[in-house]
Amino acid sequence: MNKSDLLAEQIREISGVNPKKCMKCGKCSATCPSFDKMDIKPHQFVSYVDNDDIEPLTKSKSLWHCLSCFACVERCPRGVKPGKLIDAARQIAERQRGGDYLTPDEIPELFDEDTPQQLIVSAFRRYRK
């Protein structure tokens, strides 16, 4: 199996998403609070996966702009769950060497006296393998 086929299989397995269900209404991107920050938009994630074109997704800046707010998941009329694809692509990126978006060394700079533990814990869960 070549690398591109492997990635396509991986993202389907991790996400459990069937991109064929998408009817391209664009509601996921319309409702995404990070839409303007994303280089690849939520509805485009679905199309990329449908075309087995996964490598660009694992390098996308969008991985670090998704808020896991589940607006796209809730509001998709076809139950496609684009947010799960973004998360799966993020998993693939983080499971590679050097794929982390946050390191413990950064924390002291990012901290203030009111920072809730929840913020640090959540960020590590999302930004780091």
Return residues touching another protein (CB under 8 A). Answer: 13-16, 33-34, 37, 64-65, 67-71, 73-74, 83-84, 87-88, 91, 101-102, 106, 110, 112, 114-123, 125-127
Residue 10: CB minimum distance to another protein, A: 9
Q: Characterize 34-64 residue by residue with b for buried, 16 or more Cβ atoms within 10 angstroms of its Cβ, and e for exposed.
A: bbeebebbbbbbbebbeeeebeebbebebbe
Residue 14: CB minimum distance to another protein, A: 5
Residue 123: CB minimum distance to another protein, A: 4
Give the list of residues 6+ apart from residue 92 with CB closer than 8 angstroms, or none: 7, 10, 11, 14, 54, 58
Nearer to another protein, 43 or 90 (CB): 90
